[in-house]
Amino acid sequence: MIKKYFGLLVIVLLFSTAGFSQSAIGVRGGVFGVDGNAYGGLEVSYTRIGSMELDFGWTGSDAWKATYLKQFGLIGSPDKFLLYAGLGVGMGAVSSQFHANAAVDVGISLKLLKFLQLSLDYRPEWAMTSNSYTETSFTWNNIALGVRFAF
């Protein structure tokens, strides 16, 4: 029963972005934090500009993270310059310790040459770690530059 509701939620979130034609795929790199520890890393990133973002990142062989964000354009247009904010969820592992997280996202997006999108965002996260999810942490150090091909 829970799987049905979760699947329905995922479908609704994905199709709620169908009105936007501006998609982009590329990388997002910078300083990320998990459990209070900062590390440099790179994420493969898919976005519907000003609507949603899906990232998958890794650092070496011992850490990975996936994040989904629902974004809302605040000022500007997805075609040129956009100030946006959003909320999201994610999961990952560091040194074989699993974590689930909630994120807030604030950033700017600049579209150049009709096919190049640059973004700079700040994404603080609240993570729940360990097998019982009783250990929590709040991470402020998550800022990154995104470079994506827009289509």
pLDDT digit string (tens) for 86-141? Answer: 999 999 887 778 888 899 999 999 999 888 999 999 998 888 876 665 677 777 77
Q: Tell me what pLDDT residue 40 has.
A: 67
Strand partners, 73: 84
Residue 32: per-residue pLDDT: 61
Residues 6+ apart with CB under 8 A from 107: 83, 84, 85, 119, 120, 121, 122, 123
Phi, psi of 5 (to 5 degrees): -65, -40
pTM of the model: 0.76
Spatial distance between the Cα atoms of 15 and 19, rounded to a whole number of angstroms: 8
**DSSP, res 9:** H
84: Cα within 13 Å, side-chain hemisphere? 27
Token digits of residue 81? 């310059």
Give the tokens for residue 118: 């640059």
User: In the chain, count of helices (H) and strands (E)?
Assistant: 1, 10
Q: How many Å apart are CA 134 and CA 124, to the nearest integer?
A: 20
**What are 49's two structure tokens?**
């500009």
Q: Which CATH class is domain 21-150?
A: mainly beta
Q: What is the pLDDT of residues 26-60, one digit of tens each?
A: 999 876 654 445 556 788 999 998 889 999 988 66
Cα gap 82→126, rounded to integer Å: 25
